[in-house]
Amino acid sequence: MTRWLTADDFDDLLAGSQLGVFSAANTFPGSISTWVRELMQERGRLSLVGVEEAHTVFDEDADAVTVGGVGSLPANLEIPFRGDEPRIVVERMTRIYGRPFVAIAALNSAGPNALLAVAAACKLGLPLLDCDGQGRVLPLIDQTTYALGGLSPSPLVGVGPWGDLVTIESPRGRVETLTRAAVTAAGGWLFCALYPAPVRDLTRTGIANAISRCVEIGATLRGGSTGPRGQLARRLGGRLIGRGRVLQIEQHSDGGGRTHQPAQPIGILIEDSGPTKSWIRLEVRNEVVLATIDGRIIASTPDTICMLDPIRRRTVDLIDLQLGDVIDVLFLPADPAWHTPEGRKLAGPEAFGLPLGSLKPVL
């Protein structure tokens, strides 16, 4: 169904977008959040079109384009968006694609990209599709259900902090490599338009209700009636892995073979506060990709493993995490598309250099 997003939804959107994001959960608000809040206030209300009704809202041959930020969040904090990036990249993509776009889609609905999709829709005066390509944060632009469904991120148009405009047209397997090189050369980040496609294909391959679910999660996190421990995970179809105190945070060599992940691997050791005093270990590759209890696999990507501060009722991120912190570790199930053989190959543990073979999480 079509619903409307207004400035009144912003705080819920922001809180919900942080769930499951470990590398940039609470560090990205600031200039981005101020910018998007102001855009939503100026727009008044933004049409959020559900995947089931898109065919009744748009013509059969209508096209949409996906937007998202790629690169370093610290670089973006140092040199923030000017505000005209959505217009620049979508206008250039329109010339390349040869057809106008009637809607915006999100690369993912977690972290800054949830806000950037809203910003683009507001800035361009277009509806926003209620779907995304990840359902969580995955570090590579080709780790999407759009790609699983046969869509290509190419052509890709990106604009960087100094106004450089980058266009990449290449085979699907090369887009990520070329984009990362362009990000480095451009100054650390690119605001991108990518995955241009018919609306029917984006809604077919995207994860339904991603944006509206983000708002609902945020309302739950911010609400006083439902605490994040246990209740939140169960409401989302997941479970609480454990609560404990952080004893160790270490950067280590991968040991899992060559990967293309942009960040170095990190291990986190937590002593569970339950009666068994178990040891929870988390493996981080940009985001948390594996959780074990006393050496037994309890959860792994493509499912989401996230950490919540039980006192401040918000997601914990890597920059904030300190030895001695008490955190809740949650398991949240991924969209079924990620649990196909193709989905696990693209976003399962092996994609992050963790060759687990036939081992399966017990959840």
pLDDT band at 75 (very low <50, low <70, confident <90, very high): confident
Least Cα distance to 224 among 313, 316, 306, 329 occurs for: 313
Q: Is the pLDDT of residue 340 over 50?
A: yes
- DSSP state, 152? -
pLDDT tens by residue, 107-157? 999 889 999 999 999 999 999 999 999 998 888 999 999 999 999 999 999
Among the residues of 187-333, which ranges form H helices? 199-205, 210-222, 233-235
Which residues fall within 8 angstroms of residue 327, CB to CB, at 6 or more apart? 243, 244, 246, 270, 307, 308, 309, 310, 316, 321
Q: Tell me the average pLDDT across 207-218.
A: 93
Q: Which residue has the tokens 């979508």?
A: 90
Q: Does residue 173 carry a pLDDT above 80?
A: yes
Strand partners, 292: 281, 297
* pLDDT computed for residue 362 by the predictor: 46
pLDDT of 311: 78
State the average pLDDT over residues 210-237.
Answer: 75
The full DSSP string for 245-284 is EEEEEEE----S-----SS--EEEEEEE-STT--EEEEEE
Work out the average pLDDT over 22-48.
Answer: 84
Please say whether the beta carbons of 57 and 200 come within 8 A: no
Bridge partners of 243, per DSSP, are 328
Q: Tell me, what's the pLDDT at 41? A: 96
Instruction: Please report the pLDDT score of residue 24 as a whole number.
Output: 63
